[in-house]
Structure 1
Amino acid sequence: MCITSLISSLALAGIVVMFTLLGIGTNTLKAVHNQLDQQPPSEDDDYTDVREEAKNILEMVMDHIETVKIVLYILLGLVLLCVITSSMLIHGVRRNRRGLLVPYIFQEILNVIALVAISIWGLVIFGTQYQIVSSVIGLFIGAFIHCYFALVVFSQYQALGLIRMHEEISMK
Protein backbone atom coordinates (compact mmCIF):
# COMPACT_ATOMS: atom_id res chain seq x y z
CA MET A 1 0.00 0.00 0.00
CA CYS A 2 2.81 2.38 0.88
CA ILE A 3 4.67 1.69 -2.37
CA THR A 4 1.56 2.38 -4.43
CA SER A 5 1.00 5.74 -2.77
CA LEU A 6 4.68 6.59 -3.22
CA ILE A 7 4.56 5.75 -6.92
CA SER A 8 1.33 7.66 -7.47
CA SER A 9 2.68 10.73 -5.66
CA LEU A 10 5.87 10.58 -7.73
CA ALA A 11 3.81 10.32 -10.91
CA LEU A 12 1.70 13.29 -9.83
CA ALA A 13 4.86 15.28 -9.05
CA GLY A 14 6.23 14.41 -12.49
CA ILE A 15 3.04 15.65 -14.14
CA VAL A 16 3.18 18.91 -12.17
CA VAL A 17 6.81 19.41 -13.21
CA MET A 18 5.93 18.80 -16.87
CA PHE A 19 3.05 21.27 -16.77
CA THR A 20 5.35 23.81 -15.12
CA LEU A 21 7.95 23.33 -17.83
CA LEU A 22 5.26 23.75 -20.48
CA GLY A 23 4.17 27.01 -18.86
CA ILE A 24 7.77 28.21 -18.72
CA GLY A 25 8.13 27.35 -22.41
CA THR A 26 5.12 29.40 -23.40
CA ASN A 27 6.32 32.31 -21.26
CA THR A 28 9.72 32.10 -22.96
CA LEU A 29 7.98 32.14 -26.32
CA LYS A 30 6.16 35.30 -25.31
CA ALA A 31 9.45 36.88 -24.20
CA VAL A 32 11.13 36.03 -27.51
CA HIS A 33 8.16 37.47 -29.37
CA ASN A 34 8.38 40.71 -27.38
CA GLN A 35 12.15 40.88 -27.95
CA LEU A 36 11.71 40.51 -31.70
CA ASP A 37 9.09 43.27 -31.65
CA GLN A 38 11.46 45.67 -29.91
CA GLN A 39 14.43 45.24 -32.27
CA PRO A 40 14.38 47.79 -35.09
CA PRO A 41 15.60 46.41 -38.42
CA SER A 42 18.80 47.95 -39.70
CA GLU A 43 19.66 48.59 -43.33
CA ASP A 44 22.94 46.66 -43.40
CA ASP A 45 21.66 43.59 -41.54
CA ASP A 46 21.89 40.43 -43.67
CA TYR A 47 19.49 38.51 -41.45
CA THR A 48 16.50 40.84 -41.70
CA ASP A 49 14.53 38.31 -43.77
CA VAL A 50 15.20 35.54 -41.27
CA ARG A 51 14.08 37.75 -38.40
CA GLU A 52 10.93 38.69 -40.29
CA GLU A 53 10.07 35.02 -40.92
CA ALA A 54 10.66 34.15 -37.28
CA LYS A 55 8.61 37.15 -36.22
CA ASN A 56 5.73 36.15 -38.53
CA ILE A 57 5.70 32.58 -37.24
CA LEU A 58 5.83 33.72 -33.62
CA GLU A 59 2.96 36.14 -34.28
CA MET A 60 0.87 33.31 -35.72
CA VAL A 61 1.63 31.11 -32.73
CA MET A 62 0.94 33.94 -30.29
CA ASP A 63 -2.42 34.58 -31.96
CA HIS A 64 -3.39 30.98 -31.23
CA ILE A 65 -1.43 30.43 -28.00
CA GLU A 66 -4.36 28.94 -26.07
CA THR A 67 -5.01 26.39 -28.80
CA VAL A 68 -1.30 25.59 -28.98
CA LYS A 69 -1.29 25.00 -25.21
CA ILE A 70 -4.24 22.62 -25.51
CA VAL A 71 -2.48 20.68 -28.27
CA LEU A 72 0.69 20.48 -26.18
CA TYR A 73 -1.31 19.23 -23.17
CA ILE A 74 -2.88 16.55 -25.37
CA LEU A 75 0.56 15.51 -26.60
CA LEU A 76 1.84 15.44 -23.03
CA GLY A 77 -1.04 13.15 -22.07
CA LEU A 78 -0.24 10.88 -25.00
CA VAL A 79 3.40 10.72 -23.95
CA LEU A 80 2.46 9.73 -20.40
CA LEU A 81 0.08 7.10 -21.75
CA CYS A 82 2.85 5.88 -24.05
CA VAL A 83 5.17 5.30 -21.09
CA ILE A 84 2.54 3.14 -19.42
CA THR A 85 1.63 1.14 -22.52
CA SER A 86 5.28 0.65 -23.48
CA SER A 87 6.04 -0.86 -20.10
CA MET A 88 3.00 -3.12 -20.51
CA LEU A 89 4.30 -4.10 -23.96
CA ILE A 90 7.72 -5.03 -22.60
CA HIS A 91 6.18 -7.04 -19.77
CA GLY A 92 3.78 -8.78 -22.15
CA VAL A 93 6.52 -9.83 -24.56
CA ARG A 94 8.83 -11.04 -21.80
CA ARG A 95 6.12 -13.06 -20.04
CA ASN A 96 4.37 -14.25 -23.23
CA ARG A 97 1.11 -12.57 -22.19
CA ARG A 98 -0.44 -11.34 -25.38
CA GLY A 99 -3.22 -9.43 -23.62
CA LEU A 100 -0.66 -6.86 -22.48
CA LEU A 101 0.18 -6.03 -26.11
CA VAL A 102 -3.31 -4.74 -26.91
CA PRO A 103 -3.04 -1.41 -25.01
CA TYR A 104 0.10 -0.53 -26.98
CA ILE A 105 -1.69 -1.17 -30.27
CA PHE A 106 -4.55 1.12 -29.21
CA GLN A 107 -1.99 3.70 -28.07
CA GLU A 108 -0.38 3.66 -31.51
CA ILE A 109 -3.78 4.11 -33.15
CA LEU A 110 -4.37 7.13 -30.88
CA ASN A 111 -0.93 8.48 -31.80
CA VAL A 112 -1.64 8.21 -35.52
CA ILE A 113 -5.03 9.90 -35.13
CA ALA A 114 -3.47 12.68 -33.03
CA LEU A 115 -0.59 13.27 -35.45
CA VAL A 116 -2.88 13.44 -38.48
CA ALA A 117 -5.32 15.72 -36.65
CA ILE A 118 -2.52 18.04 -35.52
CA SER A 119 -1.14 18.12 -39.06
CA ILE A 120 -4.48 19.08 -40.55
CA TRP A 121 -5.08 21.61 -37.76
CA GLY A 122 -1.66 23.17 -38.37
CA LEU A 123 -2.33 23.56 -42.07
CA VAL A 124 -5.79 25.03 -41.48
CA ILE A 125 -4.74 27.48 -38.77
CA PHE A 126 -1.25 28.49 -39.86
CA GLY A 127 -1.51 28.14 -43.63
CA THR A 128 1.03 26.74 -46.04
CA GLN A 129 4.22 28.53 -45.09
CA TYR A 130 7.45 26.64 -45.63
CA GLN A 131 8.08 25.98 -41.94
CA ILE A 132 4.55 24.75 -41.31
CA VAL A 133 4.54 22.44 -44.33
CA SER A 134 7.91 20.93 -43.36
CA SER A 135 6.59 20.32 -39.84
CA VAL A 136 3.45 18.70 -41.22
CA ILE A 137 5.52 16.45 -43.47
CA GLY A 138 7.51 15.40 -40.40
CA LEU A 139 4.29 14.65 -38.52
CA PHE A 140 2.99 12.50 -41.39
CA ILE A 141 6.28 10.58 -41.49
CA GLY A 142 5.91 10.07 -37.73
CA ALA A 143 2.36 8.78 -38.28
CA PHE A 144 3.62 6.23 -40.81
CA ILE A 145 6.33 5.10 -38.38
CA HIS A 146 3.69 4.66 -35.66
CA CYS A 147 1.59 2.59 -38.09
CA TYR A 148 4.61 0.37 -38.71
CA PHE A 149 5.20 -0.05 -34.97
CA ALA A 150 1.55 -1.01 -34.48
CA LEU A 151 1.81 -3.61 -37.25
CA VAL A 152 4.97 -5.10 -35.72
CA VAL A 153 3.32 -5.40 -32.31
CA PHE A 154 0.17 -6.84 -33.89
CA SER A 155 2.25 -9.50 -35.66
CA GLN A 156 3.86 -10.35 -32.30
CA TYR A 157 0.36 -10.56 -30.82
CA GLN A 158 -0.61 -13.05 -33.52
CA ALA A 159 2.61 -15.02 -33.04
CA LEU A 160 1.99 -15.33 -29.31
CA GLY A 161 -1.51 -16.59 -30.11
CA LEU A 162 -0.11 -19.26 -32.44
CA ILE A 163 2.47 -20.30 -29.87
CA ARG A 164 -0.22 -20.65 -27.22
CA MET A 165 -2.42 -22.66 -29.62
CA HIS A 166 0.44 -25.06 -30.46
CA GLU A 167 1.25 -25.50 -26.76
CA GLU A 168 -2.39 -26.35 -26.01
CA ILE A 169 -2.53 -28.84 -28.87
CA SER A 170 0.72 -30.52 -27.81
CA MET A 171 -0.54 -30.84 -24.21
CA LYS A 172 -3.55 -32.91 -25.31
Structure 2
Amino acid sequence: MKRVFIQSPIGVLELKGNAERLTSVLFKDAETVTNPKKIPNELIDAVVQLQEYFDGERKKFNLKLSPEGTDFQKRVWQQLQEIPFGKTMSYQQMANQLGNPKVIRAAASANGKNPISIIIPCHRVIGSDGLLTGYAGGLHRKKWLLEHENPSPQQTLF
Protein backbone atom coordinates (compact mmCIF):
# COMPACT_ATOMS: atom_id res chain seq x y z
CA MET A 1 0.00 0.00 0.00
CA LYS A 2 1.40 3.38 -1.06
CA ARG A 3 0.50 6.72 0.46
CA VAL A 4 1.07 10.40 -0.14
CA PHE A 5 0.12 13.61 1.63
CA ILE A 6 -1.03 16.54 -0.48
CA GLN A 7 -1.98 20.09 0.37
CA SER A 8 -5.49 21.13 -0.67
CA PRO A 9 -7.37 24.40 -0.22
CA ILE A 10 -9.08 22.82 2.80
CA GLY A 11 -6.12 21.13 4.43
CA VAL A 12 -3.82 18.17 4.12
CA LEU A 13 -5.19 15.02 2.50
CA GLU A 14 -3.68 11.58 2.90
CA LEU A 15 -4.21 9.29 -0.09
CA LYS A 16 -3.63 5.54 0.09
CA GLY A 17 -3.79 2.97 -2.64
CA ASN A 18 -2.00 0.49 -4.82
CA ALA A 19 -1.56 -0.10 -8.54
CA GLU A 20 -5.15 -1.34 -8.85
CA ARG A 21 -7.25 0.85 -6.57
CA LEU A 22 -7.51 3.93 -4.39
CA THR A 23 -8.45 2.86 -0.85
CA SER A 24 -8.64 6.10 1.10
CA VAL A 25 -8.58 9.89 0.96
CA LEU A 26 -8.71 11.31 4.47
CA PHE A 27 -8.21 14.74 6.01
CA LYS A 28 -5.17 14.95 8.27
CA ASP A 29 -4.11 17.57 10.76
CA ALA A 30 -0.49 16.74 10.06
CA GLU A 31 1.63 19.39 8.42
CA THR A 32 3.59 16.79 6.47
CA VAL A 33 3.11 17.20 2.75
CA THR A 34 5.05 14.92 0.42
CA ASN A 35 7.12 16.68 -2.18
CA PRO A 36 5.31 16.29 -5.55
CA LYS A 37 8.42 14.64 -7.01
CA LYS A 38 7.86 11.80 -4.57
CA ILE A 39 4.25 10.95 -5.42
CA PRO A 40 4.11 7.17 -5.86
CA ASN A 41 3.25 6.21 -9.44
CA GLU A 42 0.22 4.33 -8.14
CA LEU A 43 -1.29 7.56 -6.79
CA ILE A 44 -0.43 10.06 -9.54
CA ASP A 45 -3.85 9.84 -11.24
CA ALA A 46 -5.66 10.44 -7.95
CA VAL A 47 -3.44 13.41 -7.08
CA VAL A 48 -3.90 14.94 -10.54
CA GLN A 49 -7.67 14.44 -10.53
CA LEU A 50 -8.02 15.95 -7.04
CA GLN A 51 -5.94 18.95 -8.13
CA GLU A 52 -8.16 19.37 -11.20
CA TYR A 53 -11.21 19.20 -8.93
CA PHE A 54 -9.84 21.89 -6.61
CA ASP A 55 -8.88 24.01 -9.64
CA GLY A 56 -12.49 23.84 -10.86
CA GLU A 57 -11.56 21.80 -13.93
CA ARG A 58 -13.06 18.42 -12.91
CA LYS A 59 -16.62 17.57 -11.92
CA LYS A 60 -16.40 13.79 -12.02
CA PHE A 61 -13.63 11.45 -10.94
CA ASN A 62 -12.44 8.55 -13.05
CA LEU A 63 -10.57 6.34 -10.58
CA LYS A 64 -10.82 2.72 -9.51
CA LEU A 65 -11.93 2.76 -5.89
CA SER A 66 -11.78 0.08 -3.23
CA PRO A 67 -13.18 1.38 0.05
CA GLU A 68 -13.16 -1.16 2.86
CA GLY A 69 -16.44 -1.59 4.69
CA THR A 70 -19.53 -3.71 5.18
CA ASP A 71 -21.84 -4.55 2.29
CA PHE A 72 -24.33 -1.96 3.54
CA GLN A 73 -21.64 0.73 3.79
CA LYS A 74 -20.52 -0.06 0.26
CA ARG A 75 -24.11 0.31 -0.98
CA VAL A 76 -24.31 3.74 0.68
CA TRP A 77 -20.95 4.79 -0.76
CA GLN A 78 -22.02 3.63 -4.22
CA GLN A 79 -25.21 5.68 -3.89
CA LEU A 80 -23.19 8.74 -2.87
CA GLN A 81 -21.35 8.54 -6.18
CA GLU A 82 -24.68 8.98 -7.96
CA ILE A 83 -25.26 12.45 -6.47
CA PRO A 84 -24.41 14.91 -9.27
CA PHE A 85 -21.73 17.56 -8.89
CA GLY A 86 -23.22 20.73 -7.40
CA LYS A 87 -26.30 18.93 -6.04
CA THR A 88 -27.23 17.69 -2.58
CA MET A 89 -29.42 14.98 -1.09
CA SER A 90 -30.87 14.66 2.40
CA TYR A 91 -30.12 11.72 4.67
CA GLN A 92 -33.81 10.83 4.45
CA GLN A 93 -33.71 10.83 0.64
CA MET A 94 -30.66 8.57 0.81
CA ALA A 95 -32.46 6.11 3.10
CA ASN A 96 -35.49 6.16 0.81
CA GLN A 97 -33.32 5.42 -2.23
CA LEU A 98 -31.75 2.54 -0.33
CA GLY A 99 -35.27 1.12 -0.19
CA ASN A 100 -36.08 1.60 3.48
CA PRO A 101 -36.81 4.99 5.09
CA LYS A 102 -36.03 3.47 8.50
CA VAL A 103 -32.31 3.00 7.69
CA ILE A 104 -31.68 6.74 7.93
CA ARG A 105 -29.38 6.41 10.98
CA ALA A 106 -27.48 3.48 9.49
CA ALA A 107 -27.10 5.38 6.21
CA ALA A 108 -25.86 8.47 8.06
CA SER A 109 -23.40 6.33 10.00
CA ALA A 110 -22.10 4.73 6.79
CA ASN A 111 -21.83 8.17 5.24
CA GLY A 112 -19.67 9.29 8.17
CA LYS A 113 -17.36 6.30 7.76
CA ASN A 114 -16.67 6.95 4.09
CA PRO A 115 -12.91 6.35 3.69
CA ILE A 116 -12.59 8.13 0.33
CA SER A 117 -13.53 11.74 1.04
CA ILE A 118 -14.39 14.13 -1.79
CA ILE A 119 -14.15 11.45 -4.51
CA ILE A 120 -17.02 9.57 -2.87
CA PRO A 121 -18.94 12.79 -2.19
CA CYS A 122 -20.35 12.33 1.29
CA HIS A 123 -20.21 16.12 1.64
CA ARG A 124 -23.24 16.31 -0.68
CA VAL A 125 -25.57 14.87 1.98
CA ILE A 126 -27.37 17.42 4.15
CA GLY A 127 -30.17 17.49 6.70
CA SER A 128 -33.80 17.34 5.57
CA ASP A 129 -34.13 20.97 6.66
CA GLY A 130 -31.35 21.97 4.24
CA LEU A 131 -28.82 22.56 7.01
CA LEU A 132 -25.30 21.22 6.99
CA THR A 133 -25.03 18.36 9.41
CA GLY A 134 -22.14 16.11 10.32
CA TYR A 135 -18.99 15.75 8.27
CA ALA A 136 -15.98 13.76 9.40
CA GLY A 137 -13.70 16.42 7.92
CA GLY A 138 -15.49 19.20 9.79
CA LEU A 139 -18.45 21.36 8.79
CA HIS A 140 -16.15 24.17 7.59
CA ARG A 141 -14.76 21.79 4.95
CA LYS A 142 -18.21 20.53 3.99
CA LYS A 143 -19.36 24.13 3.52
CA TRP A 144 -16.28 24.91 1.40
CA LEU A 145 -16.78 21.83 -0.81
CA LEU A 146 -20.47 22.59 -1.40
CA GLU A 147 -19.73 26.24 -2.21
CA HIS A 148 -16.88 25.14 -4.51
CA GLU A 149 -19.26 22.87 -6.42
CA ASN A 150 -22.11 25.37 -6.53
CA PRO A 151 -20.67 28.88 -6.13
CA SER A 152 -23.93 30.67 -6.86
CA PRO A 153 -26.77 28.50 -5.55
CA GLN A 154 -30.31 29.37 -6.51
CA GLN A 155 -31.77 31.87 -4.10
CA THR A 156 -35.23 31.04 -2.80
CA LEU A 157 -37.82 33.76 -2.36
CA PHE A 158 -39.81 33.88 0.86
| Range class of TM-score, shorter chain | under 0.3
Point out the structure with max Rg over C-alpha. Answer: 1
Using CA pairs under 8 Å that are at least 6 residues apart, name the structure with larger relative contact order, 1 or 2.
2
Length-normalised TM-score, structure 2: 0.27
Length-normalised TM-score, structure 1: 0.26
**When you count helix as a share of all residues, which structure comes out higher?**
1
